[in-house]
Amino acid sequence: MSFSNRVGTDEAKKQNGMSFKTFTSFLLKFDTIFALIVICLILTLSSDYFLTFGNFSNILQQVSVIGIIAIGMTFVISTAEIDLSVGSVVALSGAIVGVLSSTLGLNIFLSIIIALITGVIVGLLIGTFSVKFVIPSFIVTLASMMTIRGIAFLVTGGYPAPIESEFLQVIGQGKTFGIANSAIIFIVIALLGYHFLQRSRFGRYVLAVGGNKESAEVSGIPVTKIRLIVFSLSGLLASLSGILLAGQFGAGSPNAGDMYELDAIAAVVLGGANLYGGKGRVTGTIIGVLIIGVIDNGLNLLNVSSYYQMVVKGLVILMALGMNRFKQS
């Protein structure tokens, strides 16, 4: 009797152990998605409004600006570089659109194109500096972060440049089938980013350059070109984000986009990218962006004071990253 009993408990223990093991391995495999789901569950239970279509559309609109920057940042980090200038580029491009279209009365589309081209040129300059003079991109973009922010202030004279363009307001604030237009733009950019990083030759080259520049060069990959393209892409997307943000605010502010680079980097790293390069996924970044967006949104819904918000957001990012590392080891 007692014997068989013991066997029974042993068996049960074993089964428990097994299911616990499969459960943890499931957790580890989908760590960030899981983190996102848990946060969503908690918020659904704590706020009636959280799980509504309106709120989700809202979240998507809120994350679209950071999201687009983060897509560009995913490419940058995958090549083992960093771009700290994106927040300032957001401000500069909004400022350019504002000043050109309102103050100087230029056609809005032309203003937007000029702002986008400026973003590309900024990225290209940063890339050239970093690649040709062999200066770490951390330093180059730290310096350009200040310079570009300063130029944004100079362009606007220190005040937000109001934007009267109806087109930009529709892009920034309007909705199509209940989904914010800026969110739709983010989704399109994310799909393109996914294709180019995870399915195309360009993406393989980006990851190869990030993993080992010398091997990449010896394999015949045009390393310099790839690096320049990636920095330009980051500048372009940051500039696009700046335009959307200006549309959302109805003005191009030189203060816009402050610290956005850090949110973007956090999202990319949450998505499983390696800061030392060679590893990065747009799909991961999207989840990272959503985690940050959902935390911001949820804490607002729960009326948490903005001081606590910062603390909680930081801790959640740390926890998610800890999980990520745990999985790798």
Partner 1 sequence: MITKNALELINISKSFNNNEVLNNVEFSLKEGEIHALVGHNGAGKSTLMKILLGVHSSDTGKVKINNLEVNISNPEHAQECGVGAVHQELNLFPELTIAENMFLGREFTSKSKEKSSVSSSFKDIFKTVDKTKTNSECKKNLDRVGLKVSPKELVKNLSMGHRQLVEIAKGLSEKAKILVLDEPTSSLSVQETDTLFEIMNHLSTEGVSIIFISHRMEEIFRICDKITVLRNGRLIDSVSVENTNRNEVIEMMMGEPPENMYLKDKKNTLASDTTTLKVDNLNLKGVYKNINFEVKKGEILGITGLVGAGRTEILETIFGLRKFDDGTINYLNDNFNPKDPNKAVINGIGFVTEDRKDQGLFLQMDVQKNISITFLNDLQTKLKVIGGINKEKEKKIINDNIKKLNIHTTNPNQLVTELSGGNQQKIVIAKWLAKGVNLLLLDEPTRGVDVSAKAEIYKLIEDFSNEGGTVLMVSSELDEVLGVADRIITIKKGQITGEFIPGNLTENKLMELII
Residues in touch with partner 1 (CB under 8 A): 195-196, 199-201, 204-205, 207-208, 211-212, 214-222, 274, 278-279
**Residue 162 phi, psi dihedral angles, 5° rounding:** -65, 145
| CB-nearer residue toward partner 1: 13 or 225 | 225
CB 205 to partner 1: min, Å: 8
| CB-nearer residue toward partner 1: 47 or 274 | 274
| CB-nearer residue toward partner 1: 222 or 322 | 222
CB 47 to partner 1: min, Å: 41
**Cα–Cα distance list, 40 to 121, 263, 265, 295, 314 (Å):** 40, 19, 22, 9, 17
CB 196 to partner 1: min, Å: 8
CB 219 to partner 1: min, Å: 5
**Cα–Cα distance list, 234 to 97, 108, 251, 273 (Å):** 19, 23, 23, 16
CB 203 to partner 1: min, Å: 9
| CB-nearer residue toward partner 1: 232 or 253 | 232
| CB-nearer residue toward partner 1: 72 or 203 | 203
DSSP 42: H
CB 274 to partner 1: min, Å: 8
Rounded Cα–Cα distance for residues 168 and 141 (Å): 29
The owner of tokens 């991961």 is 284
Return the H-helix or E-strand segment holding 290: helix 282-301
**Residue 167 phi, psi dihedral angles, 5° rounding:** -55, -50
Tokens standing for 287? 């989840």
Rounded Cα–Cα distance for residues 215 and 25 (Å): 34
C-alpha angle 223-117-95 in degrees, rounded to nearest 5: 130
Tokens standing for 208? 């190869």
- Helices marked H in 136-180: 137-156, 166-173
CB 218 to partner 1: min, Å: 5
| CB-nearer residue toward partner 1: 175 or 279 | 279
**Residue 26 phi, psi dihedral angles, 5° rounding:** -65, -45
| CB-nearer residue toward partner 1: 132 or 195 | 195
